Amino acid sequence: MLAYARIQPGPAPAGDFPWDELVHNGLLVVSGEFQNQATLGEFLRREIKNESPEALDGLVNKLREMGEEIPDNLSPDELRNRIEGMSHMEIIPVPAKVVVFESEEDILKRDADIFYIGEFVGVQFAHLAVTSFPILYQALYREQDSRHVQGEINSLLDQVSANQVPLGDSAVLQLPGKLESYNGELLDLLMGTVVPNLVYNLKNHAEFDLSLQNFRIFMESYRWPADLDEIEKALTRLRAGEQDQNRHLELLCRKIAALYKERFEQLPALQAALLKFQ
């Protein structure tokens, strides 16, 4: 996603922050990548992989913009250690960063969802508008994505209930390596691949058992195996006709992803919702 504003010359905001450095050729542009990352921790972990001085300077500016006090005399290694210590924290709701474009035409050529926020005199309020927009965008994106995945699960459940799943076309679940080496979004994998496959194979006991076994092998390093047992129990209830278990499966997937990614602030609401299925 790209969000941008046109900036007309205006009074400089109070303080020492170099606001004008955020604007290039009269444009203030923010970029957010929400398909492969969801938290500030993931954003920081990805950014610190690039060790170029320019990248580190840009990251320092971003952190200062977020209110972090970063001394000017930190070495790259000290900065890396400082950032890695912060990477588990949810400092802002959405990871996004200011990026540079030469012209509005260059922005519009990008393969992205692009939003023009408006024209502002000076950068301070433009910055507030442009950097706040990704919060709304990500909320709507995640809601849309969740509805899409849930729709696929419901469709498979309907097929199973009506005995319309062609057994000869089902396939044993295949997963890439092990959990500890998986770099994608775990929630997307669980809700977009694992659960649909297991639901698809509910009527085929042999392929279901093999798929479940492969899932457990993939998840061997997950520290809360009781959650995997709960998924198996929910699938067993689905096979018996308890259709409300699709919601149970979604909540379990979200709990597993939250625990693994250390998004502990999500757990109270998930635990409360899961009480219904105990």
Residues 43-81: tens digit of each pLDDT: 554 554 544 454 455 555 655 555 556 666 655 556 555
What is the chain's length?
278
User: Which element (helix H / strand E) includes 27?
Assistant: strand 27-31
What does the pLDDT average to over 16-21? 71
pLDDT of the residue at 131: 81
Contacts for 18 with CB less than 8 Å, ≥ 6 apart = 61
What does the pLDDT average to over 28-40? 68
List, as own/partner pairs, every contact residues 85-91 make where C-beta atoms lie below 8 angstroms and the sequence separation is at least 24, other chains included.
86/44, 87/40, 87/41, 87/44, 87/45, 87/48, 88/41, 88/262, 89/40, 89/41, 90/39, 90/40, 90/41, 90/263, 90/265, 91/40, 91/66, 91/67
Say what percent of the chain tops pLDDT 90. 20
Say what percent of the chain tops pLDDT 70. 66
Encode pLDDT of 166-186 as tens digits.
Answer: 444 447 888 878 898 888 889
What does the pLDDT average to over 212-228? 92
- pTM of the predicted model over 0.85: no
Kindly report which listed range (9-13, 104-108, 268-272) carries the lowest average pLDDT score.
Answer: 9-13
User: Rounded to an integer, what distance in angstroms lies between the CA atom of residue 245 and that of residue 251?
Assistant: 10
